[in-house]
Amino acid sequence: MLAFEVIINDERMCVAGMEDWAVMSVILSGVRSRHRGPNDDGWVDVSVTGLSETDASGVSHHARWGRIDLEVGSKVTINLIDTAQPDPPVRRFRSDREVQEPSFTEEEIEEMERADWLRLKAKFEPASGHPSSD
């Protein structure tokens, strides 16, 4: 089957492919805020996703193989390959309004919550022990 082999800095991220694909994507994104601070250059990442064809019951599924933050100098290589053994997605979930499935695993949600907590802790409890006045 058709698949994307995604390599970041000479390390394999994934081989993304699925038998019932309708859309497969490798997305390189850069985001920054108009209201950024002097040391806030935003972020750049690569994500690998897909969407299946609709099945016999009319349901399609989203698939995610992952997301990796990039830095200046990061090397992203994408090879279009034919393989019988793609990596399973990190998450595959329904894409319909009738059944709402979370797009993230419990572990991913916990990781995001921890990152938010650490960011807020640094903002409101800086090393000096005095809350920030931002």
Please tell me the pTM assigned to this model.
Answer: 0.71
Q: What are phi and psi of 129, to 5 degrees?
A: 90, -5
Q: 124 to each of 37, 42, 66, 92, how far by Cα in Å?
A: 17, 21, 31, 37
Which are the contacts of 54, defined by CB distance < 8 A and separation ≥ 6? 22, 60
Average pLDDT over residues 32-47: 78
Residue 36: is its pLDDT beyond 70? no
CA distance 55 to 33: 39
DSSP code at position 87: B
Q: What is the dihedral of CA 36, 42, 48, 49, to 10 degrees?
A: 0
CB neighbours of residue 65 within 10 Å: 25
CB neighbours of residue 88 within 10 Å: 12
Q: What is the pLDDT of residues 41-87, one digit of tens each?
A: 788 999 999 999 999 988 999 999 999 999 999 999 999 999 999 99
Q: What is the pLDDT of residues 92-117, one digit of tens each?
A: 987 876 766 667 777 777 887 887 78
